[in-house]
Structure 1
Amino acid sequence: MELDDAYANAAHIPDGARYPDRWAEEAAQFRANALCALDIAYGEGPRARFDLFHPARLARGVVVFVHGGYWRMFDKSYWSHLAAGSLAQGWAVAIVSYDLCPQATITQIGDQVATAVNVIAQRVSGPIRLTGHSAGGQLVARLGAIGPNAAWKTRLAGIVPISPVADLTPLLNTSMNADLRLGAQEARAQSPVYMPAPECPVTVWVGSDERPVFIEQSQRLAQHWGCEIYVDPVKHHFDVIAGLTMPSSPLTLAVCCGHLA
């Protein structure tokens, strides 16, 4: 299709195809030594689950991470190690799975994530901070902008969409839309670049070596919402999330503290 290459990440990253196996291995090793509760149900079905990681002391609040994969791939088991930085900062971390396209629509997935956050908020007190990567960036941005008018939203302290798919309308011209099943109306309705800005602080995060479409969409979202954008030097779409494993990285500090240093 016309725009397939524009949204192809692995093909433009050295050893790009090997990253999922690396993520899964690092995540499994991290879970083996972490204080955590796994496979907590937030809804019906085997994928309506999240893992909750606890810091060594009373949690300051909870960071919710929502994974990417163009709404068609992966689950929470690939990303456990990304909790490390926030845990060291004293935050609990919830990592969420959700149903995938084509079994679910992107709108339904967004509603699932909202339900997950509601359940997480009942289990962990204090501020709530949302972050997500790629499709997960769209999901957390959407949740902050047009999510339910739930009690937990008064606790929402910040959102960091990482390399978000902020405008879904170009995906109509990609072969992946056979799974996404987007029409023009849903694509626009689920695009953060057409949504009102959340009431909480937002920092849009993107790598300097990403595909041009991700940089352009991140810039558009930051401009539309009037929020901060950080372009992470020499980072591509697959390693831009690596900062979440480090307690004092700019990305971890943005997620946990709302500032870069």
Structure 2
Amino acid sequence: MNLDDAYANVPYIPGGADYPARWSAEAQAFRDARVAEGRAELGISYGPSERQAFDLFHPEGTAKGLMVFVHGGYWLRFDRSLWSHLAAGALARGWAVAMPSYDLCPEVRIADITMQIARAVTAAAARVDGPIALAGHSAGGHLVARMGMTGVLPDDVAARLSHVMPISPVSDLRPLLETSMNADFRLDLAAAEAESPALMAPPSVPVTVWVGADERPVFLDQAQWLAEAWGATHHVAKDRHHFDIIEALSDPDSAMMDQLLG
């Protein structure tokens, strides 16, 4: 059985193909405004490759803590430049926000990306004091879930985690073995199991799994699998699909931000 259609989002979202251009334009305008205010540090390196870099946005005054947002794209596409506007909600609540890029498959494996994000979180944590809240979307949801596992982050950084929010995550990678994307992922069963948060013991940090009610059935399943495996809070957002589910991050008064930052 080929699961390509099951994991395809664009054909099932009205105007789905238009979202990346919209995200890019909104993100660029947001970055330009923060640079003009002197509250953005762009392209901070955390590793040897060009894509191993993050943008850091600062609130007015001393930050209450650090939020890190990890983007999705099936570990195959996109970078930090499309999501800057999603920092607005946390900034308005007084938190700094880091947004990393990472190397993509097939140049690297998913396990390599996991370790890159761990280095990115560690580097950002060294620049901002206080608690650390992690949010990630889709493949990024997988990556922030992995950050909660023992030994992935340094102990001193892991001790600062206040909340982890996988949004529409891929939590069990085994179904991806039955997609054509695996030509780039190069996963076998052992590698898929080793990178599947839903197959791992739950972290000690609070976790909320967030998903849109109008998402593809496989993403509703993936979210439920993780929530059940970890005994995590499971929120299904009414009238939201895989692309607009993340818009709540830009709203400081959204239920998503209340849950993530308290």
Normalised TM-score (structure 2): 0.97
- Separation in 2 of the partners of 1:85 and 1:219? 26
Structure 2 alignment gaps of length 5 or more: none
Query: Sequence identity, in percent?
Result: 55
Q: Is the counterpart of residue 81 in structure 1 residue 85 in structure 2? A: yes
The structure 1 residue matched to 2:117, chosen from 106, 113, 117, is 113
- Separation in 2 of the partners of 1:14 and 1:75? 23
Is 2:122–2:153's contact at 8 Å kept on the other side of the alignment?
Answer: no
- Separation in 1 of the partners of 2:217 and 2:149? 25
Aligned residues: 257
Match of 2:238 in 1: 233
> How far did residue 149 of structure 1 move?
4.0
Q: Is the counterpart of residue 134 in structure 1 residue 138 in structure 2? A: yes
- Which range is displaced more, 192-201 or 149-158? 149-158
Match of 1:15 in 2: 15
> How far did residue 242 of structure 1 move?
0.4
Structure 1 alignment gaps of length 5 or more: none
After superposition, the CA RMSD in angstroms is 0.8
Q: Secondary structure at the match of 1:205?
A: strand
> How far did residue 64 of structure 1 move?
0.3
- Separation in 1 of the partners of 2:198 and 2:139? 14
Q: Is the counterpart of residue 167 in structure 1 residue 172 in structure 2? A: yes
Q: Is the counterpart of residue 198 in structure 1 residue 203 in structure 2? A: yes
> How far did residue 151 of structure 1 move?
1.2
> How far did residue 148 of structure 1 move?
3.3
> How far did residue 68 of structure 1 move?
0.1
Q: Secondary structure at the match of 2:125?
A: helix
- Separation in 1 of the partners of 2:198 and 2:59? 35
Q: Is the counterpart of residue 55 in structure 1 residue 72 in structure 2? A: no
Deviation per CA, 1:140-175: give whole Å up to 9, x if none: 001112423431111111100000000100000001
Match of 1:124 in 2: 128
Letter in 1 for 2:98: A
- Separation in 2 of the partners of 1:43 and 1:196? 29
Matches within 5 A, 1:137-156: 137-146=141-150, 147-156=152-161
